[in-house]
């Protein structure tokens, strides 16, 4: 888990220095650079997780001196790949970094299909003067780039590209679509002009003149390869086996590992299987540094209408894991959002994301540098209520539209594009799951969570997003997923073998913090200030002033069914206007 940066073409060393400085939080353990004079500059910020020695620092160069790798992420199955390559490559380290480079040298681009992990990496070929870069199947790790004034720039975070000199100008089309439809852009787009994202499951090549992009992961084809006519019991057995292996792989680390827990079913299953992993002493030879007591982390707000702490404590009572409870209070929000919005570079999910960020801050203080969480279960097991409803909703538990287009000026609204998502499957539920996996839910959550974990120099791993699990679960019949109105049915059947019924059949709670209430009461003065400054900013022409004021007044008077439109305005204010914090951080 690290930060990568590079410039191919006309560069100044000071540009690379600024890029690495801006994302130093991603890798505080070592910073290094590589130059192919006149052609390329590569940089790396290292957070040491596997093979902590300096010999595994990056940029990593092969013995021939031809290939140079900068890599962000983890290759979880690096031990198995290394064993397969022992006779073809002379390994000098115990790192997954060297395994990745060796796999590329021996297998070429097809190495991507052999990798089980989260990754964004670039390899510079200083013989051919050509860059190869790739991103993991679901886009867990970020890769941003810009072809600016005939020079190619790439980095792990948008702010690094701005630090290199890419003009900081909002993309009005993406912003308008965000306000009008809740869209965060298509897989290539960002909220900033001249900066794009390499989509998950894609690679690119750049030779100084031509930029070539290609998709390498074809999810639909992999789903079609899954076993057919499988029984419910066979499916359950196969899924449990894959899940146990996924968790085992994600415990490979040379630093302490913990996990995040909520009161939901997904966290309950993770808790149960993590402790099975811990108790299996035979696994230590392949897990590595498996500590005797695995910390569990959860957040709460002291609001019984939202807090899942009672459910969490019931689960922990069965396993006796050390539980670290992290409190979020309303008066922390203005300061936290300023810091997190600078980290995010783009709008993020609201106060629950801030609460989640505090977990990583606490874990870092505890020297727990790797955390697991339960992201990805709802999308593979059709766990959201809207999957079986005849609508285009992407938000759980919302009745009225959270998007208030009347707030927008006519000229700004005209720039919005309603997102249209591909429907590669005959079944409508599968198409909604596909949309959430590759276009809405998962890409957003992964981006939010990457930034908040890296803000505190910690690594987040997602065992439920192992591609083998997602492909298999996705392929199963709908009545394995939803039965007699019960969602994630097969997962509940699996959980019932480890957990009490009152945990297995706990209802899904779509709201995790009192964001709606806090914005209307505790934070009312701050919210009003954000809106007032927005109205007097250069972005005021994006809005219809009277409608904007009426929406805020209506909210303060009690119409708080949804707070998303308020959060949208606050995000714009913090990103584009209230930039004193960003300037201070950039100048440090």
The two structure tokens encoding residue 77: 């199955």
**Tokens, residue 30:** 């070592």
Residue 384 falls in which region: left (phi positive, over 0), alpha (psi -120 to 50) or beta: beta
List 2, 111, 530, 569, catalytic entry:
2
Tokens of 239: 């899924």
Residue 373 marked in a binding site: no
> Can you name the residues that pair with 71 across neighbouring β-strands?
121
Burial state string for 120-140 with b = 16 or more CB within 10 A and e = fewer than 16: bbbbbbeeeebbbbbbbbbbb
CA distances from 415 to 312, 340, 570 (A): 45, 28, 21
Nearest CA among 96, 100, 135 for reference residue 118 = 135
Which residues lie across from 324 on neighbouring strands?
297
Task: List, in sequence order, every beta strand (DSSP E) within 354-504.
Answer: 370-372, 459-461
- Max Cα–Cα distance, the chain, nearest Å: 72
Measured between alpha carbons, how far is 523 from 333 in angstroms, rounded to an integer?
8
Listing from the earlier edge strand, what are the strands of the sheet with 323-327?
Answer: 323-327, 296-300, 257-260, 370-372, 459-461
Strand blocks (E) in 185-237: 196-197, 202-206, 211-215
Do residues 158 and 220 make contact, with C-beta atoms less than 8 angstroms apart? no
Q: What is the number of residues in the chain?
A: 588
What six digits make up the tokens of 548? 């904007």
Beta carbons within 10 angstroms of residue 286's beta carbon: 13
Say whether 111 is catalytic: no
Calpha distance 336→560 (Å, rounded):
22
Tokens describing residue 293: 């007591």
What's the CA gap between 582 and 163, in Å, rounded? 11
Measured at the CA of 275, the angle between CA 377 and CA 95, to 5 degrees, comes to 80
> How many C-beta atoms lie closer than 10 Å to residue 213's C-beta?
14
CB-CB contact of 371 with 363 (8 Å) = yes
Give how far the C-alpha of residue 488 lies from the chain's centroid of Cα atoms, to the nearest Å. 22
Nearest to 5 by CA among 220, 159, 187: 159
Give backbone dihedrals phi and psi of 572, rounded to 5 degrees, phi first: -60, -45
In the beta sheet, which residues pair with residue 257?
370
The residue assigned the tokens 């995010």 is 344
Residue with tokens 């606050």: 570
The CA R_g of the chain, rounded to the nearest whole Å, is 23
Strand partners, 151: 148
- Residue 255 main-chain phi, psi, to 5 deg: -135, 165
How far apart CA 489 and CA 470 sit, in angstroms, is 16
Binding-site residues = 96
Which amino acids are annotated catalytic?
2
Give the residue ranges of the annotated binding site for L-glutamine.
96
């Amino acid at each position: 888990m690290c930060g990568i940066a590079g410039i191919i073409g006309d560069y100044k060393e000071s540009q690379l220095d600024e890029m690495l400085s801006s994302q130093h939080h991603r890798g505080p353990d070592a910073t290094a650079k590589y130059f192919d004079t006149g052609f390329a500059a590569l940089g790396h910020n290292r957070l040491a997780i596997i093979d902590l020695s300096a010999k595994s620092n990056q940029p990593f160069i092969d013995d021939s001196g031809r290939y140079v790798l900068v890599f962000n992420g983890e290759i979880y199955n690096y031990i198995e790949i290394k064993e397969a390559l022992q006779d073809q490559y002379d390994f000098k380290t115990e790192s997954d970094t060297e395994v990745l480079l060796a796999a590329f040298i021996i297998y070429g681009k097809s190495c991507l299909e052999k990798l089980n992990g989260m990754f964004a990496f670039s390899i510079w070929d200083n013989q051919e003067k050509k860059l190869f870069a790739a991103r993991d199947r679901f886009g867990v790790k970020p890769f941003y780039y810009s072809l600016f004034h005939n020079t190619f720039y790439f980095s792990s975070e948008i702010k690094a590209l701005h630090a290199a000199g890419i003009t900081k100008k909002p993309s009005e089309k993406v912003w308008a679509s965000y306000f009008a439809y809740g869209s965060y852009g298509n897989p290539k787009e960002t909220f900033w002009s001249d900066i794009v994202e390499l989509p998950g499951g894609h690679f690119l090549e750049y030779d100084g003149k031509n930029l070539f992009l290609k998709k390498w992961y074809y999810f639909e084809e992999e789903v079609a390869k899954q076993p057919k006519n499988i029984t419910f019991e066979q499916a359950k057995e196969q899924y449990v086996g894959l899940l146990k292996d996924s968790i085992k792989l994600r415990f490979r680390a040379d630093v302490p590992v913990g996990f995040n827990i909520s009161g939901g079913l997904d966290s309950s299953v993770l808790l149960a299987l993590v402790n099975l992993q811990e108790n299996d002493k035979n696994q230590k030879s392949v897990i590595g540094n498996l500590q005797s007591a695995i910390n569990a982390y959860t957040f709460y707000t002291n609001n019984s209408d939202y807090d899942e702490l009672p459910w969490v404590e019931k689960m922990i009572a069965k396993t006796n894991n050390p539980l670290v409870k992290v409190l979020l209070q309303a008066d922390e929000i203005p300061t936290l959002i300023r810091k997190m919005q600078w980290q995010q570079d783009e709008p993020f999910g609201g106060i629950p994301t801030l609460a989640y960020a505090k977990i990583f801050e606490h874990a870092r203080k505890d020297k727990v540098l790797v955390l697991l969480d339960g992201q990805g279960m709802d999308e593979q097991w059709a766990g959201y209520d809207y999957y079986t409803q005849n609508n285009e909703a992407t938000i759980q538990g919302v009745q009225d539209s959270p998007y208030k287009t009347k707030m927008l000026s006519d000229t700004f609204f005209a720039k919005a594009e309603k997102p249209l998502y591909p429907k590669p499957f005959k079944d409508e539920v599968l198409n909604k799951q596909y949309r959430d996996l590759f276009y809405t839910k998962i890409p957003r959550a992964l981006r939010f969570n990457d930034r908040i974990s890296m803000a505190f120099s910690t690594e987040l791993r997602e065992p439920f997003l192992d591609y083998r699990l997602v492909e298999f679960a996705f392929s199963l019949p709908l009545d394995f997923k939803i039965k007699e109105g019960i969602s994630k049915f097969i997962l509940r059947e699996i959980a019932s073998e480890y957990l009490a019924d009152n945990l297995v059949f706990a209802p899904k709670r779509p709201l995790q913090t009192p964001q709606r209430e806090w914005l209307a009461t505790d934070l009312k003065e701050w919210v009003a200030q954000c809106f007032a400054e927005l109205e007097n900013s250069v972005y005021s022409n994006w809005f219809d002033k009277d409608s904007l004021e009426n929406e805020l007044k209506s909210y303060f008077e009690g119409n708080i069914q949804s707070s998303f439109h308020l959060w949208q305005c606050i995000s714009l204010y913090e990103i584009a206007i209230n930039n004193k914090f960003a300037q201070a951080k950039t100048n440090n």
